[in-house]
Structure 1
């Protein structure tokens, strides 16, 4: 397949709410660690920084805007990367809790999970013998019996209050083919207008699997629903599927997302020491294939973002 003319946007998801401190000593937990790793990732080539927060005391996921306030200004001061604040938070949070940070800071972008789903990491608990903090084991094991909630009403609320109300555009996280149809519903309702950024996610237990055929299927489905010129397409491969799936997807025209939220490893048996390591690796792989990496300014243009001057931090 011919290489697309446009440059590839690298998104880096810096910490997330999936992995816990016992899973990697390199997972950023404190505001200072999150800021440092986000800045390094931007310097390595990430045009978009997808950000969650953690309780500085024990690393559990946090939706406290005051914690976000401890790292957002530092990141903005040090880099021109697009800052993307999660609206997903964690499966333990209410919708109001999840929306508190992006509604306060009015970022250029926010993530938006396009449906309710089983979202589980409970098998990981069997591989951990020593837990660093008391909350972790119950949190990981408990995902076997938790549904991440984003109903149609929830999504409409986010699109109206955060999108229309704050001028924030979205990273539409699609974990299965039904999520693409949910997205199409809101496009038909006039609540989402192109160009939109579709993040297709593969390899999460509860979502579509990481088979290369599924990547092609999701791409072809999106093209049927929206037309190839209406959206920018990105791919996330969870865990061990990260680098191989992203490289193959880029050959089909995809942008890519890496980061310690999505995978703790750099390669087989090799733990990533930072988010920047993953950014540098995927950048190297893409450049070896002849791709050019998008700058933050180019990403803003492709995604029709409002610009860093319009955020509230």
Structure 2
């Protein structure tokens, strides 16, 4: 599986190719799926470009993307979108009134209130992607979590952005996760570490992701023109890594 992460917390300063409106997200998603993406992760945004967990923001994004693609669509629950854990939990519970729920949502296990957020999502019938960041205590918390066996999958997120060390950091993170409660693991990196970690995912036969959230550049250092271009390059790199392993 290659998931496309359409935008992340990026904004207009990162370039016009970053989709910020529901229509732009849907167009970018459709192009990425046509290029081979099989799953979508998106950060719904307010008109001023801020990540939001409000159902009034999330609802139109889900409806617009789903009108264009048939693959699963997931959203973030990152603390930066709603820093207060109690308010964040209330926001997510309010998703029950949405006509369309996301297929899954990422929950960063090192963030305060992660267990409660994950439980609320499971109660809603939304799959949980357990975000386990390198450099945090997320792996320790997750391996001890009673909800571990109930998540959809683990997002092993390598926050080491150095090209020379990201792969080693990724291997360390996977070791810390151990069996990961037997759940599927999606391994990905960020910025200069994105491509080395993606190739490692291919070697290990793990799911991965790519998109303008994780990197703005192709492996050769050229600026990416779209999420679709990143997906096409990722599939080529991933396939090569699998064949050489």
Range into which the TM-score falls when normalised by the shorter chain: 0.7 to 0.9
Equivalent residue number for residue 99 of structure 1: 92
TM score, norm. by length of structure 2 = 0.84
Seen in structure 2, the aligned counterparts of structure 1 residues 225 and 232 have a Cα distance that, compared at 3 Å, is closer
Aligned 1:190-269 pairs, distance under 5 A: 191-193=147-149, 196-203=152-159, 210-223=165-178, 226=181, 230-269=182-221
Equivalent residue number for residue 54 of structure 1: 45
The CA deviation string for residues 110-154 of structure 1, in whole angstroms up to 9 with x for no partner, is 101011xxxxxxxxxxxxxxxxxxxxxxxxxxxxxxxxxx22xx1
Equivalent residue number for residue 122 of structure 1: none
Q: Paired residue for 2:76, among 86, 94, 98?
A: 86
TM score, norm. by length of structure 1 = 0.67
Does 2:113 correspond to 1:112? no
User: Larger C-alpha radius of gyration, 1 or 2?
Assistant: 1
RMSD of Structure 2 on Structure 1 (CA): 2.5
Report the Cα distance in structure 1 between the residues aligned to 2:93 and 2:17, rounded to whole angstroms.
Answer: 27
Residue 241 of structure 1 and its aligned partner are, at CA, apart by: 1.7
Equivalent residue number for residue 28 of structure 1: 19
Question: Secondary structure of the equivalent of 1:62?
Answer: coil
Q: Paired residue for 1:180, among 131, 136, 139?
A: 139
Residue 280 of structure 1 and its aligned partner are, at CA, apart by: 0.8
Seen in structure 2, the aligned counterparts of structure 1 residues 100 and 166 have a Cα distance that, compared at 3 Å, is closer
Higher RCO, 1 or 2 (CA under 8 Å, sep at least 6)?
1
Q: Paired residue for 2:4, among 6, 12, 29?
A: 12
Report the Cα distance in structure 1 between the residues aligned to 2:93 and 2:223, rounded to whole angstroms.
Answer: 33
Gaps of 5+ in 1: 1-8, 116-149, 292-313
How many residues align structurally? 235
Gaps of 5+ in 2: none
Report the Cα distance in structure 1 between the residues aligned to 2:37 and 2:201, rounded to whole angstroms.
Answer: 17
